[in-house]
Structure 1
Amino acid sequence: MSGWLCLCVAIVSLLLAVVCVSYYLGLLSDITVLAGSPPIKKITFAYKFNEGPYKTCAQLLKESRSIGPKLSCIGVFYDDPKKVPGPQCRYAIGSILSEGQNKADEELMNRYETSGFNIFSFPEVTHVVTTSLPHRAFFSFLLRVRRVYPRLELYIKERRLCAHPFLEIYSEGQVQFMAPLARQGDFYVPEARHVDRRLSEEELHSDTDVSGADSNSEYSSGSGVFLSDSRDTSPAASSVHSVDHRGRSSGGYSFKELDLEQPGRHTEEEKESFHEDAVQKSLEVPTQEWLGVVGGEE
């Protein structure tokens, strides 16, 4: 009898331990995805850019923490690993030096720069898609892959939102996830723009060789996002208007909802008139040279 009692106590204790560990790791945490205010304000951060599978970002995260152990860390992920090969996935990892009106510590900033980190700033936006999860070392990575990002993807898809790139802010035992709904182009570090332009130019040359004519695409390689040539600080000028391959605008409205005409519905007279207008405008407006698909700073 005492043996059975000890066995029952051991089983109950084991189950309680499993529940406690699962709760601590966030396995039982409810994931609530919302569209609202961002978890961070305008930030200045130190970062290193890399291309490769996202699971390899742990080393950069460790390096960044070793320089500023008290700082919140940040990860910015630009590509969908389901659509972009692992070696070509772009990401930036670093630490937040200042937020809002606070100024960054010059000495700490110099330490990061000496270690090969770059300095960049993200603006504060009014609306983002966001959620959070407890941050518990390696297990948090598994939870992000298996639980968080599928929820974020479903939320964005159901509401036909244009939200990119994905940011992760690691602070005080929590991971804050956010994807901006406006000014997305301002969240692309210069290296990400250069890689985008390089890949797009390669695709452009490939298309030219096959078709014998140049054909610029409006989409950035892999992510389907058009980026402007400059990072304007004004919300109106720096907003990025992206259109995905199904014809959605950045606000998530379809052609049908906007009552726009679909291609192929013009009459012959309309086509001829449109062609004449286009020729006339081409004579009046000087030709603008585009650097591949995505403009960027040299």
Structure 2
Amino acid sequence: MNATPTSDRSYARRCAQAVNALHSIPYFTADLAERLAPFGVTDPSSVYMAGRASPLGAADATVVTALFNAFAPGFVAERVPAIWGLVSPEQAIAAREAAAGAALERLLGTDAVRSPGMAEAAELAGEAAAGCILPGRPLYAANAALARPDEPHVALWHAATMLREYRGDGHIAILSRAELTGVEALVIDCASEHGMAEEIVRPMRGWTEADWAASRERLRDRGLVSGEGVLTARGAALRDEIEHETGRLDRRPYELLGGSRTEKLAEFVRGLVRTAAGSHAFPPPLRTFFAPDTSRWNRL
């Protein structure tokens, strides 16, 4: 396959950022929690894990920890597999699709979700997502096995989820090659100028202050952060390499679309995310990370 032109890579990166943000919306609004509450799933992290892990079936804590990568094992084990005793994976899948549909229609407006542009975007994203490879991409594969939703805006969200998980699976492979654990990758990201504050990230992922300090010490021993926890030049270079390699492994779906169609999809989805952000889809500390005009994007 021919190398992707520089401009196409830029649009691919922007499209990947936009679909990641679109995918995240039901996890930041109340819609999914409202649909899982009748089953007894009320803890915010349990809501997230039930929604995102449901395509895997009734997976246990070790599997979810391995595939999510960034969460503390004990934090996951407190919720999985207990959540499957409250809500089945099939019920959670139905809940998250209903939540995505309701959230997007409320935030974007009925005219937008029923528009020809939405239908076209769903087709483009679906085509890109369907062309990804399965080996080595377990979360992508689990989502790819699901039926495509009928409504275009929900189908777009489903395709965005597939694309997000495809990129995430590849990212974890690159972290493994760099011999970085999930928490170490978070420490590096938080120490960079592109990352969020430790105070936001660490509790969201279930890591203790002691876990974080131990990871920082290991990274210091490798010369990746300073004694004060500041990213060194070597650490910044490794982070840049990881981002580059993640993008390289993520190029296939956008190569299939080609530059002009990838650009079209990117601009449309960025517009949706901009509208959603303006409608307060994301909490204030995260809003700048999901605004379509910034290069800083939180990884769920």
What band does the TM-score fall into relative to the shorter chain?
Answer: under 0.3
User: Which is richer in strand?
Assistant: 1
The structure with the largest alpha-carbon Rg is 1
TM-score, length-normalised on structure 2? 0.26
